[in-house]
Amino acid sequence: GESVGLHLPTLSVQEGDNSIINCAYSNSASDYFIWYKQESGKGPQFIIDIRSNMDKRQGQRVTVLLNKTVKHLSLQIAATQPGDSAVYFCAEDASGTYKYIFGTGTRLKVLA
C-alpha cells in the first residue's frame, strides 16, 4: 500500500554541522507533509510543514524541501545542537482527511 519511508535509520552529525534527513513518499496525490521530532519518552512534536504547491519552506534553523518529481522530502537542520538529538518522522496526508501516514523515523545523534 501507499507508505512513507526514510532512507537512513540513524544519522550521526558533529555538533555545529548541518543535518539532512531524507524521506521518500509514494503517493503522488499527497498534498501536505509534516516533519515531527520525537524525544525519548515523549510524544512527537511538530517541527515544520509544507504543502504540495511549495518546494521549500524555512523555519528557525530548519528547512523543508519538497521534490514532487521524485517524491522526495528532506529536513535540513542548520548548526545542529545536542538538543536536536531525537527521532525525526515525516508524515504525509494522503487522503485530505487529516489521517497522516508516518514513516519509521530517523534517529539523529549529535556528537560533541
The set of long-range contacts for 45-54, using a CB threshold of 8 Å and a minimum separation of 24, is 47/75, 47/88, 48/75
H and E: helices and strands count for the chain: 0, 11
Using CB under 8 A as the binding rule, whether residue 12 contacts another protein is answered as no
Chosen residue from 71, 74, 78, 102 binding another protein by CB under 8 A: 102
Residues 28 to 87 in contact with another protein, rule: CB under 8 A: 32, 34, 36, 41-46, 49
Chosen residue from 21, 66, 84, 103 binding another protein by CB under 8 A: 103
Candidate segments 11-19, 53-61, 70-78, 97-105, binder of another protein by CB under 8 A: 97-105
| C-alpha pair distances (Å), 6 with each of 75, 77, 80, 88 | 11, 16, 20, 10
Using CB under 8 A as the binding rule, whether residue 100 contacts another protein is answered as yes
DSSP string, 41-56: TS--EEEEEEETT-SE
Q: Which residues of this chain interact with another protein, rule CB under 8 A?
A: 4, 32, 34, 36, 41-46, 49, 89, 91, 93, 97-100, 102-105
